[in-house]
Homo-oligomer: A and B are copies of this chain.
Amino acid sequence: MTTSHDRVINFGAGPSALPVPVLEEAAKGLLNFSGTGIGIAEISHRSKEFTECINNLESLIRTQLGVPHTHSILFSQGGGSGQFSAVVMNMLARYRLLHPDVKPEKITMDYVVTGSWSKKAAEEARRLGGGQVNIAVNSREFSKDGKSFDNIPAHDAFKFSRDPALIYYCENETVDGVEFSHELSEPTSFPFHLLKQGSLAPLAADYSSSFMCRPIPRLADHAIIYAGAQKNIGPAGLTVIIVRQDCIVDVDAAAKLGAAPVPITFSYKTLEESKSLYNTPSVISIYMTALVLELMKEKGGLAYYEDLNRRKAGRIYGLLKDGEEKGVFKRKVKAGSESWMNVVFEVLGDDAEKRFLEGAEHLGMKGLKGHRSVGGRRPRFIVQRDHR
């Protein structure tokens, strides 16, 4: 059997490193899950044992994140990109039911664009149509060079519509290393106070790359929070969707009023009513994610991880600052907008990046290369690293 000694330090942004005890437990579960004599990849998603597993996952998320009972927790496949579409379709259906007579050209969807992923989400909303995409803010306009996603703009830059069907943001931008501050007094926090509908605002957040690394500010004021598991809490193949109940609507009734028909696996109502089992879920991804969250609970939950991740981020940004003063490194993101999760920087000097990567590889550190679209380095500091 492979031992953990053979393993490298994996900085990959997603799929990302998982705790070795979880992998060891899952290796056993592959042959025999929960004493059933059937492996986890082979067991019916409607079996008693798997039902316990998925219920337990729901409860672990609800308890650790403090999800109120106004919100359902749904599980799906298809990752963040699938939700780019599902969020739009469900929220346009909701808007249609609330306002049957408003024409599509009068319906707005506000997108906060602070990086590659929120930009892609806005493009998908534009593709799908059914409403007008309003870019509430585009952080490139506030960047050092006028073209980079390197900052979270100040609150007064955000221009929300009067009555949007959807307000969308990405809490942490994996490619660009930009993240909203969780201190609501900070100028780089999300401007919750500008939301006109308050706790019923149609606010959707992509938390894929920072899910469960620390508590979510103003969680209850979100209509939708979603996250692909593979960045932080499990294998690819599972998407967690936290939805406020008023956003779980009858999409077929909305279609009769003129909203676009929603593919059945994208309907939050179908997911809710089937307890996320309308189509066969990726059972192995759900099982492994539950193992990770069990371990996180044992360690002390999000309070523990918030502290740990704050210290990790402090340390690496401290080193980068020192390196910058010495002319070795250059940080890509403006102070106050830096991600705890994805640290994007350049290594300065001829051939320096290549040597840096080779040196890292020599020390058993992999996955440090930046995203091809922005370059630079991108070590990722994930919540599970502590379990190694």
A24 at the interface (CB under 8 A from B): yes
CB pair B36 A8 closer than 8 Å: yes
Residues of the B chain whose Cβ atoms lie less than 8 Å from the Cβ of A85:
263-266
Chain A contributes a number of interface residues (CB within 8 A of B) equal to 75
Residues of the B chain whose Cβ atoms lie less than 8 Å from the Cβ of A234:
41
**Interface segment, A66-74, A164-172, A279-287, A296-304?**
A279-287
- Nearest B residue to A80 via CB reads B279
Q: Among B23, B31, B265, B364, which residue has its beta carbon within 8 angstroms of that of A31?
A: B23
CB pair A236 B282 closer than 8 Å: yes
CB pair B15 A24 closer than 8 Å: no
**Interface segment, A56-64, A123-131, A188-196?**
A123-131
Q: Among B37, B228, B252, B364, which residue has its beta carbon within 8 angstroms of that of A8?
A: B37
Q: Within residues 27 to 84 of chain A, which ones have a CB less than 8 A from any CB in chain B?
A: 27-28, 30-32, 36-39, 41-45, 47, 77-82, 84
A260 at the interface (CB under 8 A from B): yes
Q: Within residues 107 to 132 of chain A, which ones have a CB less than 8 A from any CB in chain B?
A: 124, 127-130
CB pair B41 A288 closer than 8 Å: yes
Question: Given A42-B16, A77-B82, A280-B79: A30 and B31 within 8 A (CB)?
Answer: no
Question: Given A10-B42, A28-B2, A263-B89: A282 and B237 within 8 A (CB)?
Answer: yes
Q: Among B6, B37, B78, B284, which residue has its beta carbon within 8 angstroms of that of A284?
A: B284
CB pair A127 B18 closer than 8 Å: no
Determine how close the nearest CB of chain B comes to the CB of A121; give it in whole angstroms. 10
Interface set of A (CB-CB < 8 Å, partner B): 1-4, 6-8, 10, 12-18, 20, 23-24, 26-28, 30-32, 36-39, 41-45, 47, 77-82, 84-86, 89, 124, 127-130, 228, 230, 234-237, 252, 255, 260-261, 263-266, 278-285, 288, 364, 366-367
Residues of the B chain whose Cβ atoms lie less than 8 Å from the Cβ of A18:
39, 41-42
Chain B CB within 10 Å — which of A38, A84, A236, A288 has the most? A236
Q: Among B20, B41, B78, which residue has its beta carbon within 8 angstroms of that of A235?
A: B41
CB pair A31 B24 closer than 8 Å: yes
CB pair B129 A261 closer than 8 Å: yes
C-alpha spacing A4/B42, complex, angstroms: 14
C-alpha spacing A234/B282, complex, angstroms: 11
Q: Among B1, B28, B39, B364, which residue has its beta carbon within 8 angstroms of that of A37?
A: B364
C-alpha spacing A37/B361, complex, angstroms: 12
CB pair A128 B261 closer than 8 Å: yes
C-alpha spacing A31/B38, complex, angstroms: 21
CB pair A237 B31 closer than 8 Å: no
C-alpha spacing A27/B39, complex, angstroms: 11
C-alpha spacing A130/B260, complex, angstroms: 10
Q: Can you give 25 A-B contacts (C-beta < 8 A)?
A: A7-B32, A7-B38, A10-B37, A10-B43, A12-B38, A12-B43, A13-B44, A14-B44, A17-B42, A18-B41, A18-B42, A27-B31, A38-B366, A42-B235, A45-B236, A79-B279, A82-B279, A127-B261, A129-B255, A228-B280, A230-B280, A235-B282, A235-B284, A236-B283, A236-B284
Chain B CB within 10 Å — which of A3, A14, A265, A364 has the most? A265
CB pair B42 A265 closer than 8 Å: no
Residues of the B chain whose Cβ atoms lie less than 8 Å from the Cβ of A288:
41
Determine how close the nearest CB of chain B comes to the CB of A230; give it in whole angstroms. 6
